[in-house]
Amino acid sequence: MRWWDVAWGSPTTHSLPPLVIIAGATASGKTSLALQLSTSLSGAEIVSADSRQVYRGMDIATAKPSAAELQVAPHHCLDLVAPDVPFAAADYQRAALAALAGIAERGGIALLVGGTGLYLRTIARGYPLDEGSSDPLLRAELEARNAQEGVEALSAELQQRDAAAADVVDLRNPRRVIRALERAILTGSALPPPPQGYPAPLIWLGLRHQPPAHRRAIEARVDEHFAAGLLEEAARLRSCYPEDLPAFSAMGYREAFDVLAGRCDVATAKARDTQRTWAYARRQRTWFRSEPDITWLEAGEGAAAAAADVLAPFLGQLAHGDYAGGR
């Protein structure tokens, strides 16, 4: 059985389309590049890989494409759930695979665009995300045992159940031991399945700024969000949902809620938003350094032309029939 069959929950006959990945940290210009490329690629459709754009009503601070931008090319994996609905990487994988299958049926090419590294990895690297390997009650029981018996006792049980996994899991880290033991109890193996790759042609592009330019881009984006009505959007959300939802950990909303509640002024909120976004961008850059095969392009006006040059050999192979869907 293929990994994408597992992710859908049952065997399917779907193939997947050629895939162009546009990765990079927040405020690096990924959306703009995707829109420019989509106009020159016949049948191109855009699949978002952003862990906050899946939430309905969260538009401004997540930099969701505008109504005009949505008209440029078909978009997928936006506005999937309400902010109070739990949404995991496995949920994203299913939604993205369904979108990709539709693109393949239409004979198109997919642009997978976003900065959520795990979302990109689940598709591009082919990680089967088995939800049967998690159980909240079992996790709570293991956490209670850790508090009472210590991580050494759980590590010893992990070694009994899966000695090979115990050799690679950090046995001093309670969180990792608990997760490995949970998986071992539920599935018989403490380690997740290995990545199985993407079954069709794929190319990774990455956008990056030099740090000073990136900081300026983030500052400009924060100003744009507040000018575009972030406080009004946050007020609507706050009237419907509690402030402490995980979805609202997205940059901008916490700061907007603080302004609305009188806990700080707008200038302070903007400064905090900028700093928190900058810290997040650094974490994104660290993540992407661990991803192989990304061709990095300098963000800015020349990015589209540089991307076209990199894509030319890839697209040439597709045009000459070197691609067979569903491989």
The Cα–Cα gap between 103 and 59 comes to 25
Residue 123 pLDDT > 90: yes
What mean pLDDT comes out for the span 149-162? Answer: 94
Global confidence as pTM: 0.83
SS3 257: helix
Q: Which CATH class is domain 132-187?
A: mainly alpha
Q: Where in the chain is the domain with CATH 3.40.50.300?
A: 3-130+195-319
Distance of CA 129 to the CA centre of its chain: 14
127, amino acid identity: Y
Strands (E), the chain: 19-24, 44-48, 75-76, 109-114, 202-208, 294-298
pLDDT, mean over the chain = 91
Condensed to tens digits (0 to 9), the pLDDT of residues 33-77 reads: 999 999 999 899 999 999 999 999 999 999 999 999 999 999 999
**Can you list the pairs that 216-222 forms with residues at least 24 positions away whose Cβ atoms lie under 8 Å?**
217/27, 217/28, 217/29, 217/299, 218/26, 218/27, 218/274, 218/277, 218/278, 218/281, 219/274, 220/27, 221/26, 221/27, 221/63, 221/277, 222/252, 222/270, 222/273, 222/274, 222/277
The Cα–Cα gap between 50 and 31 comes to 11
Q: Where in the chain is the domain with CATH 1.10.20.140?
A: 132-187
The domain made up of 3-130+195-319 has a fold known as: Rossmann fold (3.40.50)
pLDDT confidence of 228, banded at 50, 70, 90? very high
Residue 11 pLDDT > 80: no
Condensed to tens digits (0 to 9), the pLDDT of residues 164-190 reads: 888 888 999 999 999 999 989 988 888
For residue 60, count other CB atoms closer than 10 A to its CB. 20
